[in-house]
Structure 1
Amino acid sequence: MEYQLAINVTPQIKLVQPELYMAEALYNTIKSNYQHLVTFLDFIQEDMTLEDEQQYLTMMLNHQAQNKGRLYLIYFEDELIGTIDLHNIQMQHKKAEIGYWIAENYAGRQITTQCVQHLCYLAFEVFGLNKLTIKADVRNIASNKVAEKVGFSYVGTDLEDMFDGEAYRDMNRYSLLKRDYNKQ
């Protein structure tokens, strides 16, 4: 499959800059993984529509144009299996947050870890950032392990940091500085 912009992480894994026509594949991946994703991702809604995903992609492409965010779709052998992004980019302070999710059938295969490693490279070496942060629900063991495997340092726990519609959730905060990344 041909993409306007695709970055090879491995021969099987690509980070692809989204295009609007990809909204349907994104929508289908989220819908088929709803139960897996909804526990830890507050933006996943049961009643979301294809139009919602089109609007999301449009918003993220606008954020990219304004240098406020960058979204990549994760493809494994030409199947869309998740997303990874830089958000809350603050160029004045040269920092951003990383967010990611992956389809249930691909969890535990080191794909997310490899994608985060590659996004760190892009953030530090291409985009010129100095600090990256990952926030992970304290109950999301897999997401916390990804941050640790990539070399992020645990900074602390933000108590009652997210409200999921029913209860407040505590979030672990991890950070990685460019100088520490360069030592890896």
Structure 2
Amino acid sequence: MYKAVVSPDIYLSILEYRHADELYKLVDGSRDSIGQWLSFPSKTHKVEDSKIFIEKSLKRFAEGNGYWAGIWYREKLAGSVGYLYIDWKDKKTEIGYWLGKNFEGIGLATQACKLLIDHAFSELKLNKVEINVASNNEKSKAIPKRLGFKNEGCIRSYEFLNGEYLDRVVFGQLKDEWAIKKA
């Protein structure tokens, strides 16, 4: 099992089949808050849907093409963070994240992203990490800003969600920039 300790209260662990019930309950209990910005809650209707998601994530992990990890806070599943893909040719990835509504505002996503960014640059030897966020999602936009990412632009009408088109802001961080920030 992959487990990365972030702090005494926080750790990340690859999502496994045994987490499906807990994952489903977290999504179901936060359906409105997560679904405002992301499409997957509208496709998650039962525990089996969470198992299918975990299966796809484990397959991507085995193929070296990204994965999703759970974010645990005080031994409770609080959300998820992951590499949406890994582009080995161009040496880049995109990080995605979400939290259950009861776990927002305590820094979990920022700390989880920081760990994945460090891993992407130091272990995976990537050159760029992106975080793409709905333009109106101020809480989520604060995370890449807090981590020193540069706003690289806006993709207009990126996706149609909840009856409206959402723009997507692209934030990027290069390996050299991250090294300077950490120094």
Say whether the fold is shared (TM-score over 0.5). Answer: yes
Give the superposed CA RMSD. Answer: 1.1
Structure 1 residue 59 corresponds to structure 2 residue 60? no
Q: Distance in 1 between matches of 2:2 and 2:90?
A: 27
Q: Indicate conservation of the 8 Å contact 2:10/2:74, yes or no.
A: yes
| Match runs of 1:83-94 below 5 Å | 83-94=80-91
Q: Distance in 1 between matches of 2:156 and 2:2?
A: 39
Aligned residue number for residue 96 of structure 1? 93
Task: Give the Å deviation of 1:165.
Answer: 5.0
- Name the SS of the counterpart of 2:109 in structure 1: helix
Q: Which runs of 5+ in 2 are unaligned?
A: none
Task: Give the Å deviation of 1:108.
Answer: 1.1
Read off the aligned partner of 1:109 and give its amino acid letter: I
Task: Give the Å deviation of 1:95.
Answer: 0.5
Task: Give the Å deviation of 1:133.
Answer: 0.7
Q: Distance in 2 between matches of 1:46 and 1:85?
A: 19
Aligned residue number for residue 7 of structure 1? 4
- Name the SS of the counterpart of 2:86 in structure 1: strand
Read off the aligned partner of 1:98 and give its amino acid letter: I
Q: Pick from 70, 90, 107 the counterpart of residue 110 of structure 1.
A: 107
Task: Give the Å deviation of 1:5.
Answer: 2.1
Cα displacement string for residues 132-183 of structure 1 (whole angstroms, at most 9, x for unaligned residues): 1111001100110001001111001110011115221101110001110001
Aligned residue number for residue 46 of structure 2? 49
Q: Distance in 2 between matches of 1:165 and 1:25?
A: 25
Q: Distance in 1 between matches of 2:44 and 2:151?
A: 35
Task: Give the Å deviation of 1:19.
Answer: 1.2
Q: Indicate conservation of the 8 Å contact 2:79/2:97, yes or no.
A: yes
Q: Indicate conservation of the 8 Å contact 1:34/1:46, yes or no.
A: no
Q: Distance in 1 between matches of 2:3 and 2:65?
A: 20
Structure 1 residue 178 corresponds to structure 2 residue 175? yes
Read off the aligned partner of 2:13 and give its amino acid letter: V
Q: Distance in 2 between matches of 1:166 and 1:103?
A: 23
User: Using a 3 Å threshold, how does the CA distance of structure 1 residues 161 and 97 change in structure 2: closer, same or farther?
Assistant: same
Structure 1 residue 35 corresponds to structure 2 residue 57? no
Q: Distance in 1 between matches of 2:96 and 2:50?
A: 17
Misfit runs of 4+, over 3 Å: none
Task: Give the Å deviation of 1:47.
Answer: 5.6
Percent identity, please. Answer: 26
Q: Distance in 1 between matches of 2:4 and 2:84?
A: 19
Taking structure 1 as the reference length, what is the TM-score of the superposition? 0.95
Q: Which runs of 5+ in 1 are unaligned?
A: none
Taking structure 2 as the reference length, what is the TM-score of the superposition? 0.95
| Count of equivalent residues | 181
User: Using a 3 Å threshold, how does the CA distance of structure 1 residues 83 and 157 change in structure 2: closer, same or farther?
Assistant: same
